[in-house]
Structure 1
């Protein structure tokens, strides 16, 4: 199991930084609120490559309505019409970040549909600050429903595949009894609890935080605000229940032993709640690095699971 991320303590910073931290203490809660908003409304990153760049066929572009005149943008790469995998992406990224995953899935015969979550890639902007868990989940459900409405996919089995932040709405999609998701794959998340996730973002140094706000005492106020505001914006009931669709849907959790954002111990703890879940820890692997650093183990784990779950 990977250890919990080591916290930045006061001894890590020189006296001047600690003095500046005291002076910055009144600003820390404001900065925490800004960071929590930025996590769910990140700066846009353009697609750095497309399906054809990795050997996938020219995709069909889909624009799926998600209410309020908003849409999510997707690439549909047809394969077998009886097996579909809907592929998300990590926070602040876009569907181009998971083209490598789409490639090995498509090579194995699956129809693959990659999409941008709202506030990412080519999907619509949503400036909402509450109920975000339901909104991100609705992106998944809208896309699955659209695919199932098409004649060629009406009887297909559908798996949803999430990465880091998108593992949460992918797993949450099973709360909807009317949405036929047959399997869920989660890479680098989700964890058993929400609060530590925001602290881990600070410790992993993936957020633009000045040193004075990383040191105590400003760190204390920043962390508390970021965590409480982030959880409040999601407005979710976490962890998901063990009843309903969760009682019989196959679930795969892949965690990196060296993941500092969503530690393997937290992912394992969540997986242990569900009778049809399996968890795989990749030795020496960090956050979202499984396919890159252990490609054979990673792809075989995913494809073996899908074969058992969907045939």
Structure 2
């Protein structure tokens, strides 16, 4: 059977194009596609802007939190020793030991004894974070009068973050320890031979930091001891505003140096807890302290080697409220400790062997 193969005809000859051509879009459809693409780009840009604003808001918020930690609100001084407890005082101003800040305070000379008003014993009060030298909830004036009646000179001063005239940021103890050291030196310049630092909360933690770099502190009483660290500060902050540990803690840690010039890594928290101090230390703490762990206070107390060092852990005691809740026992214990310290120091000054009194509870 024979097959005849025809010659292919060009497509053009039958009226068809060799390459298929797309049909042109109607004008209204072109406009719809352009509008849709523009809407898509606008949505992407809007979402990106919202995300960016969200992250900026987070950074700004944590920057504000860091600023509040550096510059806490502290009420102005409400009185003075003459008005509050009838004791004459002197306004004193001196530079911090570092020279970076200025310290202002009150010096209460001891009353005259046997015709002499030159007492060689001085107590330097170290107030807590968020308070000033008055620290009314302790109450500080009552303790100052007690010590004045016991023939102690008393020095009360403001840390930089509490000062209205010489404002400075809170640094977790870095510069505060320099302010306390300058206060100890001032007491020494006024003739003090025996210096006791009586600290509260972060002021107690600052006292321990200061005692790492000086031998001029003869004893310490530390009430509601708070050792600042990033974790401890964050836990306290969470009592006022609940924040997630991440990313809040890293952000705050990053921003704190912008306001204070220092970071948490410069605070010797671990050394403070582990260090066996030479001087006698009396630690007073409550088991219901919501701001400072009493376990930390116990750990510091356990590391002390001085025979007169001791601790009083008060069942159900709250932060800086122990004197107010147990005034008689508080005063009795503190006075006994000071008396024993005074006896040992007096013996050392007279060149006699110092017989240290074991802690009596």
Bin for the TM-score computed over the shorter chain = 0.7 to 0.9
8 Å CA contact 1:85–1:110 kept in 2: the answer is yes
Q: Matches of 1:266 and 1:28 in 2, distance apart?
A: 33
| Deviation >4 Å, runs of 4+ | 23-30, 227-231, 241-244
8 Å CA contact 2:85–2:141 kept in 1: the answer is no
1:41 corresponds to: 71
1:95 corresponds to: 133
Select 1:139's aligned residue among 179, 189, 213: 179
Gaps of 5+ in 1: 1-22
Q: Matches of 1:69 and 1:160 in 2, distance apart?
A: 22
Select 2:281's aligned residue among 239, 243, 251: 251
User: Is 1:183 aligned with 2:225?
Assistant: no
Select 1:110's aligned residue among 138, 146, 152: 152
Partner SS, residue 177 of structure 2: helix
Pick closer, same or farther for the CA change 1:123–1:265 going to 2, 3 Å. Answer: farther
1:284 deviates by: 1.9
8 Å CA contact 2:155–2:187 kept in 1: the answer is no
Whichever structure has more strand as a proportion of its residues is: 1
Aligned-residue CA RMSD (Å): 2.9
Partner SS, residue 119 of structure 1: helix
Pick closer, same or farther for the CA change 1:65–1:34 going to 2, 3 Å. Answer: same
1:6 corresponds to: none
Q: Could you give the per-residue CA deviations for residues 129-159 of structure 1, whole angstroms, max 9, x where no partner exists?
A: 8x65331101011111122123x43xx2001
Q: Matches of 2:273 and 2:65 in 1, distance apart?
A: 32
Pick closer, same or farther for the CA change 1:26–1:254 going to 2, 3 Å. Answer: farther
Instruction: Find the structure with the greater CA-based Rg.
Output: 2
Pick closer, same or farther for the CA change 1:65–1:25 going to 2, 3 Å. Answer: same
Pick closer, same or farther for the CA change 1:56–1:268 going to 2, 3 Å. Answer: farther
1:172 deviates by: 1.2
1:125 deviates by: 1.8
Q: How does 1:204-215 map to 2 (within 5 A)?
A: 204-205=239-240, 209=241, 214=242
2:104 corresponds to: 73
Q: Matches of 1:174 and 1:108 in 2, distance apart?
A: 25
User: Is 1:307 aligned with 2:345?
Assistant: no
2:236 corresponds to: 201
Gaps of 5+ in 2: 1-52, 111-117, 257-261, 344-361
2:197 corresponds to: 160
Higher RCO (CA-CA < 8 Å; seq separation 6+): 1
8 Å CA contact 1:32–1:223 kept in 2: the answer is no
Partner SS, residue 32 of structure 1: helix
1:298 corresponds to: 330
8 Å CA contact 2:196–2:220 kept in 1: the answer is yes
1:241 deviates by: 5.9
1:235 corresponds to: 266
User: Is 1:289 aligned with 2:321?
Assistant: yes
8 Å CA contact 2:273–2:296 kept in 1: the answer is no
1:302 deviates by: 1.7
Q: Matches of 1:60 and 1:117 in 2, distance apart?
A: 18
2:27 corresponds to: none
1:24 deviates by: 6.9
Partner SS, residue 124 of structure 1: coil
Pick closer, same or farther for the CA change 1:73–1:283 going to 2, 3 Å. Answer: same
Q: Matches of 1:172 and 1:232 in 2, distance apart?
A: 15
Pick closer, same or farther for the CA change 1:144–1:36 going to 2, 3 Å. Answer: same
8 Å CA contact 1:95–1:114 kept in 2: the answer is yes
TM-score by length of 1: 0.77
Q: Matches of 1:34 and 1:307 in 2, distance apart?
A: 47
Give the number of equivalent residue pairs.
Answer: 272
TM-score by length of 2: 0.67
1:18 corresponds to: none
1:196 deviates by: 3.4
